[in-house]
A and B are shown apart, each in its own frame.
Chain A
Amino acid sequence: MTVLFGIFLLTLLVITAVAIVHTRNLFVAVMLLGIFSLLIAINFFILDAADVALTEAAVGAGISTVLFLGALALTTERERLGTQHRWLSLVVVTSATLVLLYATFDKPLFGDPDAPVHQHVAPWYLEKTPEYIDIPNVVTAVLASFRGYDTLGEVFVVFTAGIGVMFLLSAHSGGPGRRKREASGIGLREHLIPRVVGRLLVPFILLFGLYVQFHGDFGPGGGFQAGALIAAAFILYALVEGEDRTLAALPQNALNALMVCGALLYGGVGLAGIVLGSSFLDYSVLSADPVAGQHLGIILIEAGVGMTVTGVLLSIFHAFAARDRI
């Protein structure tokens, strides 16, 4: 039955995607992208990927709409020219779709437990996690410990992207449009109800973010989700109270420090493994008891991930919002 729900939702997903591409109004496309994100999060949840669904929830609802709207405010809301080489593109895309559809007939059926993907390392992870790492959430165990290198790489990609956005958008604008400072940047300060409710909710979102951060060993959660949630809390504060007050509460210097310290913390824990006589990112040696060492290592690197993601996402948001006022 749940599979049927999934199929229904996937159909809605395709309809939404077609509408996103079809509409000429970019604002509408961004709104539909919000629905797309909700739909795909439900699909992830139905497909047993609670952690992934939580990440998509935190990123899709809190961050991505705000970023796209920020970019639209700086560029344009309407596509003027529409499509180029429509028929050629359609032919190429349709034939590629047919090739892909043909290829799917070689895939194992949905949910087949004998599929090759389930035969390789995954059973080992599931079997050995209680023994080596002893935390309930296997996803966190694989993310932080077994495949720590991978995650380190991803954290540095996020870090680099953040630096890139800051480089691009902190340059002095040569373009038109000197806007009055007080016109934008004050957020919704004049609107009493959003302001009161927003201020009420910010601490709860922060608290929930910290819960997700530190409960990530036991339930869905971890540094990536928590970072996005905490960034969403500050974005909410910026929306209801204005940019300058948010920057006064958490200045850009602090965000830079957060980004750098998070990445360094992750790398530092890895190096500590070498110093203590084992290999890079082996947490077993961090404590006398290997399992306790794993616990400590995972908490530390998840904290590092959370710090970097918070710092990067907030810096990106501030970079877009500040551009609005130059």
Chain B
Amino acid sequence: MELLGLYHYWVFAVLLMIGFYAVVAKVNLVKKLIGVSLFQSAVFLLYITMSKVTGGTAPILQEGMVDPVFSNPLPQVLILTAIVVGISTTALGLGIVVRIKEEYGTIEEHEIQEIDRR
């Protein structure tokens, strides 16, 4: 277990950077938004990973539990709200992309810049 004790954090780092790669390297705006949502999910994963305690259980009290160990509720609260906020802001981004498509006729970054330069 010692060897894999940091695996969750490595996955977080890799996921974060996969999302970041999509944001910086992809030209298509919808793809960039997908990258942002991967990035978001990676951060969610980091927080929830930190909240876990070995041998713990979800921080919901239950009758008949003998001396329970609970995982940390605080990161869970932060992420719970962040997921809904995340989908709302992603929708806002998609709304902007749809408007760009209607005004410019394309959602590829290069072509938009080209049209702007004219």
Check if A48 sits within 8 Å of B56, measured CB to CB: yes
**Interface size grouping (class) on chain A:** 35 or more
Total residue contacts A-B, CB cutoff 8 A = 309
Q: Contact: A227 with B96, CB < 8 Å?
A: no
With A26-B30, A44-B48, A126-B70 known as contacts, the answer to whether A67 contacts B90 (CB < 8 A) is yes
- Flag if B83 contacts A71 (CB, 8 Å): no
User: Main SS of the interface on chain A?
Assistant: helix
Name the one of B26, B41, B83 contacting A55, with C-beta atoms under 8 angstroms. B83
**Cα distance A228–B87 when bound, in Å?**
10
- Find the residue from B41, B79, B111 having the highest chain A CB count within 10 A: B41
Find residues 46-67 in chain B having any chain A CB closer than 8 Å to their own CB. Answer: 48-62
Of A71, A136, A151, A227, which contacts B94 at CB under 8 A?
A71
- In the docked arrangement, what's the CA distance between A63 and B86, Å? 12
A164 to B12, CA, bound (A): 31
Binding site for B on A (CB under 8 A): 3, 6-7, 10-11, 13-14, 17-18, 20-21, 26, 29-30, 33, 36-37, 40, 43-44, 47-52, 55-56, 59, 63-64, 67-68, 70-72, 74-76, 79-86, 89-90, 92-94, 96-97, 100-101, 103-105, 107, 109-113, 115, 117-118, 121-122, 125-126, 129-130, 136-139, 142-143, 147, 150-151, 154, 157-158, 161-162, 164-165, 168-169, 171, 173-176, 218-220, 222, 224, 227-228, 309, 312-313, 316, 319-320, 323
Residues of B in contact with A (beta carbons under 8 Å apart):
1-2, 4-22, 24-28, 30-31, 34-35, 37-38, 41, 44-45, 48-62, 69-85, 87-92, 94-99, 101-103, 105, 107-111
Closest 4 CB pairs of A and B: A175-B102, A111-B54, A109-B5, A161-B88
